[in-house]
């Protein structure tokens, strides 16, 4: 009879192993498995770094697909357009809107560039005069510092030139990535469900339905995050642009709106950077009094966004603790810089909803079960079973 204390213990353990406490043995067993997982993740990240531009393009396409899928559904349901035609209309509309916004912002900046340049020089001279009088810096000392700066720039001219050449290469990579992202986006909108069913069909039969249902929850969380972030970014950008108009800088409202809107997609850091740029622009073009007023406007808009819009809208869309958001952004920025910070929270939202379903806590019970896809997988299993049966009969 096995004693309770010996239940489940192997009968042939060496004496030196028996002497090791069971807690140490369990900890060592977990440790080497964790090390293997970490090593696999490191290898995976290293391999992904070689195709980072391709991965980034696909991730951009995924986010845009989550944003445009409702529009494609509306066009398919309420117009005569098919799925492919509706996807093309949505894609062309996105391109037109983006190009139009950048063109309008660029035209306003070019029109006001001479004024910006003159006032920037004036502002720099004002700051220089203030520094010389406040800190007792004499003019020869400042001139010497500027001469040393020019000399350093001349000495590093080769490095700057190579950096410019590499920048041209980066621009080429961005154009290639943009083409890949748009190409992938069209096929995701036009036939994303068929592509997904094919991918899930490669899994073992028992894992197909749970995987599909889990990813459905993740996709819903991702879509909700993208739509909510667009709304929050639009409100933030509109509030700061209205502040620019109120301060008499309406000609810069569109560029600032676009800048704040784009930076709002970078959690935590983007709002600070875009707000600082708006304040500095007012400081250069107006005065420090107007800059303080602009700072108050930026802080008010960001407080409304952070304390009202984010908890009310984002809390319903994504169930993530603020600590998880902070750590996710920090980890993403450490691993992949700005793209990592940009995609960390959508990825966390997707993984969180997926894992919740797999662990038995359905985050979206209103979705129910996708019976059509289940029937599709059952039909595949019947087809495979019939083919195996036919092969057995043929062998006999």
pLDDT tens, residue by residue, 98-113: 888 888 877 777 776 6
Give the residue with greater pLDDT, 180 vs 160.
Answer: 180
User: What is the token pair recorded at 347?
Assistant: 């990825």
- N residues, the chain: 396
Q: Provide the pLDDT confidence category of residue 379 given band limits of 50, 70 and 90.
A: confident
Q: Reply yes or no on whether the pLDDT at 7 is more than 70.
A: no
pLDDT for 255: 83
pLDDT of residue 138: 61
Torsion, Cα 47 50 54 60, to 10 degrees, reads 70
Q: Which residue has the higher pLDDT, 105 or 197?
A: 197
The closest alpha carbon to 105, from 117, 97, 95, belongs to 97
CA distances to 229, 256, 262, 313, 355 from 232, rounded to whole Å, are 5, 16, 11, 8, 27
19-47 burial: b if 16+ Cβ within 10 Å, else e: eeeeeeeeeeeeeeeeeeeeeeeeeeeee
Mean pLDDT over each residue of the chain, to the nearest integer: 79
Q: 310: how many CB neighbours lie within 10 A of its CB?
A: 17
Maximum mean pLDDT: which of 76-80, 119-123, 152-156, 317-321: 76-80
**What interhelical angle do 205-246 and 371-395 show, nearest 10?**
150
Query: What global pTM score does this model have?
Result: 0.72
Sign of CA dihedral 112, 113, 118, 124: positive
Q: Does residue 302 have a pLDDT over 50?
A: yes
Query: pLDDT band for position 39 (50/70/90)?
Result: very high
Cα–Cα separations (whole angstroms), residue 26 to 21, 39, 237: 9, 20, 54
List all residues 6 or more positions away from 364 whose beta carbon is below 8 Å from its beta carbon: 216, 217, 220, 221, 353
Q: Which residue has the tokens 């398919």?
A: 76
Instruction: Give the whole-number percent of the chain exceeding pLDDT 70.
Output: 76
**SS3 letters for the chain?**
CCCHHHCCCCCCCCHHHHCCCHHHHHHHHHHHHHHHHHHHHHHHHHHHHHCHHHHHHHHHHHHHHHHHHHHHHHHHHHCCCCHHHHHHHHHHHHHHHHHHHHHHHHHHHHHCHHHHHHHHHHHHHHHHHHHHHHCCCCHHHHHHHHHHHHHHHHHCHHHHHHHHHHHHHHHHHHHHHHHHHHHHHHHHHHHHHHHHHHHHHCCCHHHHHHHHHHHHHHHHHHHHHHHHHHHHHHHHHHHHHHHHHHCCCHHHHHHHHHHHHHHCCCCCHHHHHHHHHHHHHHHHHCCHHHHHHHHHHHHHHHHHHHHHHHHHHHHHHCCCCHHHHHHHHHHHHHHHHHHHHHHHHHHHHHHHHHHHHHCCCCCCHHHCCCHHHHHHHHHHHHHHHHHHHHHHHHHC
CA distances to 60, 161, 174, 196 from 167, rounded to whole Å, are 21, 10, 10, 37
Farthest CA pair distance, the chain: 103
Block residue for tokens 């972030």? 229
Instruction: Say yes or no to pLDDT of 124 above 70.
Output: no
pLDDT value of residue 147? 64
Of the listed ranges 13-17, 134-138, 177-181, 202-206, the one predicted with least confidence? 134-138
Q: Nearest to residue 362, comparing CAs of 349, 377, 352, 371? A: 352
Say how far apart CA 236 and CA 304 lie, in whole Å.
9
Distance CA 294, CA 244 (A): 8
> Does position 168 have pLDDT exceeding 50, yes or no?
no
């Amino acid at each position: 009879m096995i004693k309770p204390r010996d239940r489940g213990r192997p009968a042939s353990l060496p004496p030196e192993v028996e002497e090791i406490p069971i807690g140490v043995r369990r900890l060592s067993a977990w440790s080497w498995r964790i090390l293997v997982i970490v090593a696999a993740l490191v290898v995976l990240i290293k391999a992904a770094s070689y195709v980072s531009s391709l991965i980034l393009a696909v991730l951009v396409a995924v986010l845009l697909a989550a944003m445009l899928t409702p529009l494609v559904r509306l066009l398919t349901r309420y117009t005569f357009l098919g799925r492919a035609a509706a996807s093309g209309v949505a894609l062309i509309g996105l391109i037109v809107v983006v190009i139009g916004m950048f063109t309008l912002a660029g035209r306003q900046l070019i029109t006001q560039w001479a004024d910006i340049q003159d006032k920037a020089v004036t502002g720099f001279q004002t700051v220089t005069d203030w520094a010389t009088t406040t800190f007792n810096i004499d003019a020869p000392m400042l001139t010497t510092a500027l001469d040393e700066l020019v000399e350093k720039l001349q000495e590093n001219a080769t490095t700057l030139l190579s950096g410019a050449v590499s920048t041209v290469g980066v621009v080429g990579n961005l154009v290639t990535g943009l083409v890949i992202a748009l190409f992938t986006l069209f096929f995701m909108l036009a036939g994303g469900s068929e592509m997904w069913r094919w991918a899930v069909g490669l899994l073992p039969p028992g894992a197909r339905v749970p995987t599909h249902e889990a990813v459905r929850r993740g996709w819903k969380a991702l879509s909700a995050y993208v739509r909510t972030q667009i709304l929050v970014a639009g409100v933030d950008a509109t509030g700061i642009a209205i502040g620019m108009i109120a301060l008499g800088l309406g000609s810069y409202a569109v560029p600032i709106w676009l800048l704040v809107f784009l930076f709002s997609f970078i959690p935590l850091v983007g709002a600070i950077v875009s707000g600082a740029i708006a304040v500095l622009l007012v400081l250069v073009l107006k005065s420090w009094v107007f800059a303080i007023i602009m700072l108050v406007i930026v802080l008010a808009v960001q407080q409304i966004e952070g304390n009202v819009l984010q908890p009310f809208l984002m809390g319903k869309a994504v169930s993530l603790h603020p600590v998880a958001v902070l750590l996710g952004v920090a980890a993403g920025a450490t691993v992949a810089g700005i793209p990592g910070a940009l995609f960390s929270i959508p990825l966390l939202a997707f993984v969180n909803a997926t894992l919740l379903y797999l662990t038995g806590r359905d985050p979206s019970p209103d979705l129910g079960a996708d019976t059509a896809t289940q029937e599709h997988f059952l039909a595949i299993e019947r087809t495979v079973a019939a083919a195996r049966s036919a092969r057995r009969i043929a062998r006999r």
